[in-house]
Amino acid sequence: MSVLVGKKAPLFETDAVVNGGEFVEKFSLEQFIGKKHVIFFFYPLDFTFVCPTEIIAFQDKIEEFNKRNVAVIGCSIDSKFSHWAWLNTEKNQGGIKGVKFPLVSDLSKTIAENYDVLAGEYDYNEEGELEFEGDAVAYRGLFLIDKQGVVRHQVVNDLPLGRSVDEALRMVDALQFFEDNGEVCPADWHKGDEGMKATAEGVANYLSK
């Protein structure tokens, strides 16, 4: 699996559903460069089980991301019509009604492939026919992208393992603290904690407290 940290996030233009039900063509991460940090996350499929818990958890914390000037964007291999239907299904019926952040459609699976989170791959069988081996969905990948369009943090979970939205927020806080103060963030750092100078003296001073 590729490590994209330190590299430019792969860009794309694709269909998306925004504001809980509006179709957008040629949705792109490029619109956020120079303006916002981005949490871009993949989930396997609409109308499944772990996925709505994650998506609703992100929506529940969306104001915290907004305060930090962070765009939250979800992506799966479903169509924009599937996204729309799921966004307009009540939660007690397995839907995610009330979610307002964009959901991107990756029907071609090229976005998941470019981010190297596709849970399988195309290969030729013994008859020379192209087949897909594995699950034709995305792993639970999450990428924190800075305002220059560079990936600064990534985490990829297997399909059964839901993510921590609080950890995503913590990583946003850590990155923004470093950008604002030039100090690095030690283990288990949280917003409001002291940072550390990236020098031998800085480490010694931090550890002696």
Report the catalytic residues. 51
Structure tokens at 33: 């460069």
Q: What span, in angstroms and rounded, lies between the C-alpha atoms of 48 and 194?
A: 41
Q: What span, in angstroms and rounded, lies between the C-alpha atoms of 68 and 51?
A: 24
Cα dihedral 26→28→32→38 (10° resolution):
140
- CB proximity list for 141: less than 8 A, separation 6 or greater: 41, 42, 112, 115, 117, 154, 155, 156, 157
Please state, in angstroms and as integers, the Cα–Cα distance from residue 78 to each residue in 10, 14, 205, 207, following that order.
Answer: 19, 12, 51, 48
Structure tokens at 137: 């969905």
Q: What span, in angstroms and rounded, lies between the C-alpha atoms of 22 and 117?
A: 27
Q: What span, in angstroms and rounded, lies between the C-alpha atoms of 183 and 194?
A: 9
